[in-house]
Structure 1
């Protein structure tokens, strides 16, 4: 209840910021930044880079709605008072607890980041270099305003400090997520790992068919993602691109990775066919599917998962076929159709098992008591199990496996199954 209240407060904050304080990237394009005015003292090379980023921003912002009003970014920073969550090549992210409750992430230009430092080494123009970096954040804000999907971190608002500050005048107010810890994910139950992979596939399907065209995540790394309420979300969009590689012949369209290369076709329009979609998909395979999909999956589902791994690892599947394959596995898993339809005897799983939903015992999701019995019969230490009222995100109940029937302390809503070798049969 408390978490739901926080989410509602953050949603209210989002609406307020978007309605009252956000100045859209499209509106910024109308401002004529000082760095681009005629007679600017900035070096020609830096001016050209600024113009290129501005053109890119104008193209992305075309057709986007502009928000009215303005809130100084300095006001947002003072309201934060939180710890730095992380910093990268261009940006720094700070945790903020704003008035009204709810935690958010504030993302702004990292004045001491590598992009600004390298730019200053090339051009010796600190203010112009910070403006150059700010365009990347403006691009990200623009994309987040136009792309809405559960797999993309939510933009609660943005502000542009037009009061003359020379550093990091743009601040984005984002949904707060937890860093993705791959080692931690590998220790979670298979069902949760499958959920993360399915969510990623749904995101890539959306990006392949987005309102802006096919979008590629050029810096596709696990560190670009966060977890929000158990769901995977991409949080870094400044290196996303809607442009597909231009070509004159098929030889111009080789998709290269460290261990593999894929020849693609050059279309009649002079673009490498599907290169954005295929780059995203192979990166999903090598960073996520390979590690999260196969291990400790139900044996009957492993052939389907192996086909997904082979098809995406060789780019035999596109994103449409990959999504259909994942949906098939989900249907088989939720319906229990993957189970062998034969009578199962209630016999035999250890009181400690891996992976488990509880570190203190063996708590696994099952489709039915028959599946729980099959699991129990595969483990010599299991003497009984309880079908609890707890359910996972797919609606499957959780079963608690016990090493001894004498240890059972069930509640009135739980069903207890005891091995015939340990007792006379099943009882409630």
Structure 2
């Protein structure tokens, strides 16, 4: 019986050691990663993945591609600096071999992502080369060298690791460690250990309160500001899709950096600097340094603004790479501002939000101006200054401190912080009274002690109540017209 249970468990989950030892999974086409000694590389931490010379037996074209990616990686490592010190402080192959409960989360063109439990507690996301992914398959079709093609794909993962070591920002997923085997054959086996997040589900986000959607957009703007002024220069996310992001403890973080570009497009004249999207093109300037001025920043910003060409969102999955693309012609289906920012926003803030959408959609705003505009909206919202002058309505309510109502008939609204009722963010009891008056069946509301990320309290709106119960932390407001017919 125990043996049968063990076989059942192996059918659903693999230990990290098994993940490193077994061949590709038939259904998931997961790349086999042979086990290596504890450390960061097969040589106990001394391996240098960027300094390996491809075997002469590989086809000349593949050798040249490997050399080019190795040169690019060395250039990035030189610009990043400090990567070895950062790696020394992180998890290594020993931690990976002791991890358990590995389960595959998803896969894309280049990488496969799994979840694993660490021996000392906690969980991580494991990224490794997807041996049956489109990138490796196309390479094998071209060159007929599977090991060399997996090595070629591994350089993209090493590039991502190098970027994550150098770029430190709340909007970038944290690198927890890495493990690689550079043992001398054509293949380079790499596993990156990352902070674990959950998929960014746009359809779910569209059903959340505006304040939470604004937080997502603000977090994205802060990330793009950092990327525009990063220690490595201006960085473009060439594969800019919602599925390149995850949520970690309620915060938006980019998790795929292998397609990021730290180089701005070279040019000789302004005509070399047209930024093309499927629906729009933007002429940019060629600087005296021979670079297209601000092209990385503007590419990120427009991708954050724009909507899906088909006009509606689609279901997203975890940590996958995107579509094939040219160097500067975007194929991403990025939609953040257009879908998340305007819907159900406070009416007084809608003109400001429209200005942001128009200015980013036309690239009249750079990232600096966009961040200032977002911070202005946040200030108005947190301070309550966005509230238009209106009649004082709280006088029409009876206030009872130290009590809350026992709700009778269910009362729901959208979007709400609770799917079981009508729970909304408010600036003050006066604003709550205005909201209650605008709802046909609202008879009372309670200002709770719960607060949102902006520090605003949550209020529960109710259509009827059956009794009052003591609650020292609560204040209940009942419409005078409703209280006259109820027992107080």
Q: TM-score, normalised by structure 1?
A: 0.88
Deviations 1:51-104 (A, max 9, x none): 111111111111234144998748725624321011111111110001111111
Tell me, yes or no, if structure 1 residue 393 matches structure 2 residue 409. no
**Are 1:187 and 2:207 matched, yes or no?**
yes
User: Partner residue of 2:70?
Assistant: 54
1:338 alignment partner in structure 2: 386
Report the equivalent of 1:118. Answer: 138
Rounded to whole Å, the distance in 2 between the matches of 1:239 and 1:313 is 23
Runs (5+) with no aligned partner, structure 2 = 1-37, 307-334, 398-409
Alpha carbons 2:423, 2:460 under 8 Å: kept: yes
Root mean square deviation, CA, Å: 2.5
Match of 2:174 in 1: 154
Say if 1:30 and 1:398 are closer, same or farther in 2 by CA, change over 3 A.
closer
- For 1:368 and 1:203, locate their aligned partners in 2 and report how far apart those are by CA, in whole Å: 31
Q: Where does 1:239-258 land on structure 2 (aligned, <5 Å)?
A: 239-258=259-278
Secondary structure in structure 2 of the residue aligned to 1:338: coil
Residues 1:402 and 1:324: Cα distance change in structure 2 (over 3 Å): same
Q: Deviations 1:1-35 (Å, cap 9, x if unpaired)? A: xxxxxxxxxxxxxxxxxxx9446xx9755773241
Structure 1: which 5+ runs fail to align? 1-19
Which residue is 2:113 aligned to? 93
Matches within 5 A, 1:23-102: 29=48, 32-35=51-54, 40-62=56-78, 63-67=81-85, 68=88, 73=93, 76=96, 79-102=99-122
Greater CA drift, 385-394 or 76-85: 76-85
CA contact (8 A) 1:22 1:70 kept: no
Cα deviation for residue 424 of structure 1 reads 6.0
Aligned to 1:9: none
Matched, 1:309 2:325: no
Distance 1:69 1:208, change over 3 A: closer
Which residue is equivalent to 2:195? 175
Which residue among 363, 369, 386 is the counterpart of 1:321? Answer: 369
Distance 2:237 2:92 in 1: 31
* Alpha-carbon spacing, 1:302–1:56, altered in 2? closer, same or farther (3 Å): same
SS at match of 1:307: helix
The match for 1:235 is 255
Aligned structure 1 segments of 4 or more residues deviating by more than 6 angstroms: 69-72
Q: Secondary structure at the match of 1:66?
A: helix
Query: Once the 2 structures are TM-superposed, how far is the Cα of residue 369 of structure 1 from its aligned partner?
Result: 0.5
Q: Is the deviation greater in 339-348 or in 271-280? A: 339-348
Q: Distance in 2 between matches of 1:75 and 1:156?
A: 11
Distance change >3 Å, CA 324–CA 288, structure 1 → 2: same
Summarize the Cα distance change of 1:105–1:167 in structure 2 as closer, same or farther, 3 Å threshold: farther
Question: C-alpha displacement at 1:247, in angstroms?
Answer: 1.1
In structure 1, which of residues 357, 371, 379 is the aligned counterpart of residue 417 of structure 2? 357
Q: What is the CA–CA distance in structure 1 between the aligned matches of 2:355 and 2:89, rounded to whole Å?
A: 52
